Structure 1
Amino acid sequence: MDQDHYRKLERMYLASKVNTQIFDSTTAKVSHEKAEIGLKIDPKYFHALGAIHGSVYFKLLDDAAFFAVNSIVAEVFVLTTTFNIQLIRPASEGLLRAIGTVRFKSKSLFVAESRLYNDQGKEIAFGSGNFAKSKVALSPEIGYR
């Protein structure tokens, strides 16, 4: 794959409505079989006890694994078919960083894992999932530009 593909994936991610209308401070860096997604913690992501809600952990972990897989699939959008997470510790301030990597690839199945770190470098969650190719072409209509 080439750098142009990685930059288009990053722009597609950052321009998506969930990242422009709900999650404010996201960053994305895609490379071969790897992706890093960042989010600045905001109290609007907290549950009642004042820490990040598990849905935010899930989103960051899934996004990082997803883009690690899509880094090696240039023709179509991939889909998450399963994704499981394990929460290790809470986070309530600073920056979160999810790093996803491809663990297995075949013609029709991809397995990727991701780890979520706080800004002290401590792992706070991890996950893994299965991904498959969709029939939706990567195109400017879906933000791949």
Structure 2
Amino acid sequence: MPIDMTPHYHALQRMYLAAPINRIYQPDILILEGWAEISIQLQEDFHHSAGAVHGSVYFKMLDDAAFFAASSLESEFFVLTASFTTYLIRPVSSGEMRSEGRVVSQTRTQFIAESTVYNERGQELARGSGIFVKGKHRLQEALGYSE
């Protein structure tokens, strides 16, 4: 009989929302097996001097979605981003930004995940892929994971 991983997914969602950096972005997150979706409402505070969203926001959205897709498959240890490649496709300045991540390969110690960021019209804004590894920090000790 398969194990119900839903409590793990909810714990990961709590952990993500408890991260101090997310006080700035105020994201929404959904996690399922090998998959995650994150969305934020864009604000002028996220802009660079030319009036569009800064690349660091694209990276955060891509990395977070891929990270939590990988984390959904690891219930004991905190996962770490070992490397991440980002491709910025088009600028955006307002509306919603939504990222989807999915695991495309895994071994005993690492995960390869891809992610894509979309605007509110479903147009692709960026994409990326990364390698994620199991760390030594137990999830139970991570801020927000345990109730």
TM-score by length of 1: 0.96
Residues 144 and 40 (structure 1), Cα distance of their counterparts in 2 relative to 1, 3 Å cut = same
Q: Percent identity?
A: 45
Structure 1 unmatched runs, 5+: none
Cα offset, 1:140, TM superposition: 5.0
- Identify the residue that residue 114 of structure 1 maps to in structure 2: 115
What residue identity is the alignment partner of 2:75? A
SS of structure 2 residue aligned to 1:39: strand
SS of structure 1 residue aligned to 2:21: helix
Give the number of aligned pairs. 143
Contact 2:18 2:143 in 1 (8 A): no
Q: Residues 20-65 of structure 1: CA distance to partner in whole angstroms, max 9, x if unpaired?
A: 2x22x30010000000011100000000111100000000100000
- Identify the residue that residue 142 of structure 1 maps to in structure 2: 143
Contact 2:15 2:142 in 1 (8 A): no
Structure 2 unmatched runs, 5+: none
- Identify the residue that residue 31 of structure 2 maps to in structure 1: 30
- Over the aligned positions, Cα root-mean-square deviation in angstroms equals 1.0
Contact 2:30 2:36 in 1 (8 A): yes
Residue 17, structure 1, aligned to residue 51, structure 2? no
Contact 2:47 2:53 in 1 (8 A): yes
SS of structure 2 residue aligned to 1:142: coil
Distance in 2, matches of 1:129 and 1:112, equals 6
User: Would you identify which runs of 4 or more consecutive aligned residues in structure 1 move more than 3 Å?
Assistant: none
1:3 corresponds to which of 3, 6, 31: 6
